[in-house]
């Protein structure tokens, strides 16, 4: 029964090695804008100094002042020059050092997201194994069990403080939803995805994560994008999208939806665990 979750755990575990397709889209041309601004400031300062010198040629600046001004300017020149060599052989290497530091930070961040993703999916597989026989209260139907779990998720999210303990409880609920929704043959996926109730939408994500159906992909993407303020729900929504793409092929996702996903990615907090799964999904689709 839980083989599908184990497959996800194995698949996610393989991403820890990282690959080029997992790279997060670059932030754009912010570096170029900063360089232009710094260049303009330095140019204006130089012109201002020349004007002051023409107006007051007797004004003297001692060596200490000149040295301090140079020290103040030096850290900002990295955006303009690869390196600066001063008399005496002292050489400042800027851009290469900054690029290496940024590349190392991005690689570390991506590796951390991938490892967290693999660990989280494996943990869900373990939790789901223990909940395979979850049937809800005695005498309840499967649909009633799903509704109860959806309500429980909403209550936990509203009442518990954000943190590992709440996440662990919600993972148990999601695992139970994966099990329950697979047993509900009349589960209305489209209606659940369009529901205003976040717990009901999570139930739909659980169903599509455990039993991917490409016919619901467009509605799923729309629902998941609307859950940006619910990190846990959106995380598993992205996982459900990725599961469908893996099962049905990248051609099933529309380019317009990919653009929307990229916009969502650009807004996510840098430390969000949603970045890893979403960046890999986008890279996979863009590579087609």
Tens of pLDDT, residue by residue over 49-107, are 667 666 777 766 666 566 666 656 655 555 555 555 555 554 545 555 455 545 555 55
Helix intervals (H) in the chain: 3-13, 30-55, 63-73, 95-130, 142-159, 164-183, 189-193, 198-210, 217-225, 231-248, 255-267, 274-286
Q: Which residues pair with 61 in a beta bridge?
A: none
Q: How confident is the model at residue 158, as a pLDDT?
A: 95
Q: Which of 32-36, 168-172, 271-275 shows the lowest per-residue confidence on average (mean pLDDT)?
A: 32-36
Give Cβ neighbours of residue 288 (< 8 Å, ≥ 6 apart): 250, 251
Neighbouring CB atoms inside 10 A of 215's CB total: 12
The mean pLDDT of 137-151, rounded to a whole number, is 85
| Average pLDDT across the chain, whole number | 75
Q: Distance between CA atoms of 5 and 19, rounded to whole angstroms?
A: 23
Give Cβ neighbours of residue 241 (< 8 Å, ≥ 6 apart): 217, 220, 221, 224, 253, 281
* Residue pair 42/73 in contact by the 8 Å Cβ criterion: yes
In the chain, the largest separation of any two C-alpha atoms, in whole Å, equals 98
The DSSP H or E segment spanning 83 is: strand 83-85
């Amino acid at each position: 029964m839980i083989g599908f979750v184990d497959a996800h755990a194995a698949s996610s575990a393989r991403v820890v090695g990282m690959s080029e397709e997992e790279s997060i889209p670059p932030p754009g041309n912010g570096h170029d804008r900063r360089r232009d601004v710094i260049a303009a400031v330095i140019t204006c300062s130089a012109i201002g100094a020349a004007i002051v010198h023409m107006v007051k040629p007797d004004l003297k600046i001692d060596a200490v002042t000149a040295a301090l001004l140079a020290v103040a300017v030096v850290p900002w020149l990295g955006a303009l020059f690869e390196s600066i060599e001063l008399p005496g052989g002292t050489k400042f290497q800027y851009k290469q050092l900054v690029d290496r530091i940024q590349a190392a930070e991005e690689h570390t961040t991506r590796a951390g997201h991938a490892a967290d993703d693999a660990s989280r999916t494996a943990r869900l597989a373990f939790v789901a194994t223990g909940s395979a026989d979850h049937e809800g209260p005695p005498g309840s139907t499967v649909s009633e069990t799903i509704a109860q779990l959806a309500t429980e998720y909403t209550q936990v999210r509203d009442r518990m403080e954000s943190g590992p303990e709440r996440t662990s409880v919600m993972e148990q609920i999601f695992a139970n939803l994966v099990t329950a929704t697979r047993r509900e043959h009349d589960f209305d996926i489209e209606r659940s995805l369009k529901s205003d109730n976040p717990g009901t939408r999570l139930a739909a994500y659980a169903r599509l994560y455990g039993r991917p159906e490409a016919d619901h992909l467009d509605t799923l993407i729309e629902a998941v994008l609307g859950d940006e303020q619910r990190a846990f729900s959106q995380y598993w929504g992205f996982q459900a999208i990725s599961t469908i793409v893996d099962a049905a092929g990248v051609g099933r996702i529309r380019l317009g939806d990919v653009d929307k996903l990229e916009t969502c990615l650009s807004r996510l907090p840098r430390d969000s665990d949603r970045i890893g799964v979403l960046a890999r999904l986008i890279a996979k689709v863009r590579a087609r």
